[in-house]
Structure 1
Amino acid sequence: MASTKEWFETVAEAQRRAKKRLPRSVYMALVAGSERGVTMNDNVRAFDELGFRPHIADLPAERNQATTVMGQEISMPVLISPTGVQAVHPEGEVAVARAAAAAGTAMGLSSFASKPVEEVAAANPKLFFQTYWVGGRDAILQRAERARAAGAKGLIITLDWTFATRRDWGSPYIPEKLDLKALLKFAPEGITRPKYLLDWVRSGKLPDLTTPNLAGPGEEAPTFFGAYYQWMTTPLPTWEDIRWLREQWGGPFAVKGIMHPDDARRAVDIGATAISVSNHGGNNLDGTPASIRALPAIADAVGDQVEILLDGGIRRGSDVVKALALGARAVMIGRAYLWGMAANGEAGVSNVLQILRSGIDEALLGLGRSSIHELVPDDIIVPENFTRAVKR
């Protein structure tokens, strides 16, 4: 169907609407990548280099997209990737959780989220809680146990971010808190985006820049920058630290940020249930290849030992199919659903998921596959030197 006031036909249209609706600083926080943005841009462009080998007759009348990830049955191979403080809409992660639940899929919730894990888990029981290595072991375990008590079915440890604010186009200003000084600074942006401002006025609150899931018992939720300071001053984890956390958790456990086959093997060695091939959406070490370029070598190394997820650059259902054919069990999306939420709230997130579901179905039909589980690398035309990644 063609785009209407309440429906957008593509993720690209969702992005255009998000840019039109959001204040510039908020929008730039969604699209910015490290330094020159080489990795961020490659995440998307790399999919364009991959082709299909379609069939034209004896095509399946029905196509199945259902799969399981970390013990959870999902209706489509697309999960919500955990993203930090969401100032794009007042309902934030709760709206995202409802949309994902309605689509029959799972959600990753960031420990830096703007909504408490209890509220989000109530909206979608297929919840995976994400954490960084922030604070001492006791604090990290306390957060994990809080998430478990709320109903989280799995734990994700994110290791793929070296903190850097350097961006060639400039990092957007993020205040410590929205006090009078900050409100006055942002007033010109808000006035030019009245629909965004009206959403918050109707909600009766201001964008929340605190991180409630990092608060210990009886503690106040730290601010966004307070949480980052704690993270930046925490000693870096070792693989033995990650093994310890996996053993303490005792349930489905994913390591996010794998871009090298050696790290994939180490994740398998410490007992991970799943790994996410990810470069943090281009917000880690700029010049790292696109996630999809790293996927084939990692799938060759550990594909029969661990569930592999692909995170980065997904904009179409055909992108999902390419990732699955090259070895992923499912993909995770970040910017795509945030643009959807900015464009039209919960309905916008649902819209994005439906776009991807339809695109997956169309690609399966063209390839003559009745299920995502029938996809194989031979369905994809991979150009020479596409991977640009370590192969050992």
Structure 2
Amino acid sequence: MSENVHPKATSVAEFEKAANEKLSEFVRTYYSHPGEGGQTHRDNCRAFKRYRLIPRNLRDVYIRDTSVTVLGSKLDFPVAIAPTAVHKLAHPDAEVATAKGAASMNTSMVLSSWSHCSLEQVAAAAPRGVRWFYLLFYRDRGRMKRLLERAEWAGYTALVLTVDSPIYPFTLRKTPVVFPVQFRLPNVWLDDDVVPGSPGSLEQGSALTKITKNAATWEDVKWVKKNTRLPVVLKGILSGSIPEDARTAVDLGVSGIYVSNHGGREQDGLPATIDVLPDIVRAVGGEAEVYLDGGVRTGTDVLKALALGARCVFIGRPALWGLACNGAEGVQQVLQILKDELSLAMARAGT
């Protein structure tokens, strides 16, 4: 895999093209994985194009401030990296490189439980970076407690709970997945676990089914809240016009509502995230920060999400495309493109 991205890659779309030329068919399919018919995956991107910006003219926009404070951490711009699995499929340095790229741009990264690198390795590689941890729900609360403590000790500043995956996909798997590279899952398996098989095998899938908790409930969220000092963010909230989930989360003291449909990888036929964002912002009423992922490809997309009430947006696949093209520098390049595009869009919108 070449370490040098095509010199003409000056947009996220061009990074996608360059990455797809480098990645194997297996990895391209694994990362894109649109879910069933791919309706939600496609609509996430298309939905942004249905919204229009109304510019204000003759304003002094010579200096623009793209910085934002997210859960108490000041970021240079409101684009952070979403939790995505197995970065080693894109680059040998895996999540360590992604974290370095994010830290170099002074923005946040959410480390997935399904990562090749451990919480501690990522923290050591990018000690000045802003890091959140995506925690799975487990049957054994003791296991969850140990992972919560590891995240706190390693300097992670928030916990993300994904609530839109009531059934983990490995519980449904009938045939093994043979990955093209070897990797481990140090944020799922603890040091004293006996790990059967390899990731993707039916043996490991069966073992994961025994330790993870399908169909987690609000009681599990309450337990996490009571057992950590870190702010808790719920990822996967979509109910806005019927705002039960958003309001219930706020009433429990959740610090962040992360509007997401899993990039269209889980349930197909869900609404695009930008379409439900305004309803959720209204339901939350300023009592928690609201974030969004799904379909963000340009700085104009970022500005539209901010205008509709998001505090920050997250990118998943674009960060992986940068990683595949050029490691940590590629991640930085993708983020820089979005920052520059956002600043220009702000100027042209008169803000």
**TM-score under structure 2 normalisation?**
0.89
| Equivalent residue letter for 2:12 | V
* Change over 3 Å in CA distance of 1:220–1:173 after alignment to 2: closer
Pair 308,98 (structure 1): closer, same or farther in 2 beyond 3 Å: same
- Hey, what's the Cα distance between the residues in 2 that align with 1:4 and 1:259? 36
- After TM superposition, list the pairs within 5 Å mapping 1:165-244 onto structure 2: 174-175=177-178, 207-219=181-193, 223-225=198-200, 226=204, 230-231=208-209, 234-244=213-223
> Using a 3 Å threshold, how does the CA distance of structure 1 residues 284 and 37 change in structure 2: closer, same or farther?
same
What CA distance in whole angstroms lies between the structure 2 residues aligned with 1:276 and 1:228? Answer: 30
Q: Is the 8 A contact 1:161 1:283 kept in 2?
A: no
1:91 equivalent in structure 2: 93
CA contact 1:112–1:224 (8 Å) conserved in 2: no
- Taking only aligned residues, the RMSD between alpha carbons, in angstroms, comes to 2.3
Aligned residue number for residue 386 of structure 1: none
Q: Is the 8 A contact 2:105 2:335 kept in 1?
A: yes
Q: Which residue of 1 aligns with 2:142?
A: 138
Distance 1:234 1:83, change over 3 A: same
Partner of 2:275: 293
Shift in alpha-carbon separation, 1:328–1:13, aligned structure 2, 3 A: same
1:1-392 aligned within 5 A: 5-6=6-7, 8-86=9-87, 87-124=89-126, 125-163=129-167, 174-175=177-178, 207-219=181-193, 223-225=198-200, 226=204, 230-231=208-209, 234-260=213-239, 261-369=243-351
The one-letter code sitting in structure 1 at the alignment partner of 2:44 is: N
Contact 2:5 2:330 in 1 (8 A): no
User: What SS does the aligned partner of 1:328 have?
Assistant: coil
Of the two, which has the highest radius of gyration?
Answer: 1
Whether contact under 8 Å (2:135, 2:160) holds in the other structure is yes
Q: Post-superposition shift, 1:162?
A: 4.6
Mapped to 2, the partners of 1:286 and 1:164 lie a distance apart of: 15
- State the identity as a percent: 38
Contact 2:322 2:331 (C-alpha < 8 Å) held by counterparts: yes
Cα distance, 1:235 vs structure 2:
4.2
Q: CA deviation at 1:173?
A: 7.5
Is the partner of 1:51 in helix, strand or coil? coil
| Cα distance in 2 between the residues matched to 1:293 and 1:106 | 24
For residue 56 of structure 1, what is the amino acid of its counterpart?
N
The residue identity in structure 2 corresponding to 1:114 is H
Distance 2:190 2:209 in 1: 15
For normalisation by structure 1, the TM-score amounts to 0.80
What's the CA shift string for 1:125-160, capped at 9, x where partnerless? 411010121332111121111121111111111111
Q: Give ranges in structure 2 of 5+ residues lacking alignment.
A: none
Determine helix, strand or coil for the equivalent of 1:214. coil
Which deviates the most, 218-227 or 238-247? 218-227
| 1:52-102 residue CA offsets vs partner (Å, 9 max, x unmatched) | 111332231110011111221111101111111121100011001001101
CA distance in 2 between partners of 1:173 and 1:241 (Å): 30
Separation (CA, whole Å) in 2 of partners of 1:73 and 1:37: 36
What's the CA shift for 1:5?
3.2
Q: Is the 8 A contact 1:44 1:314 kept in 2?
A: yes
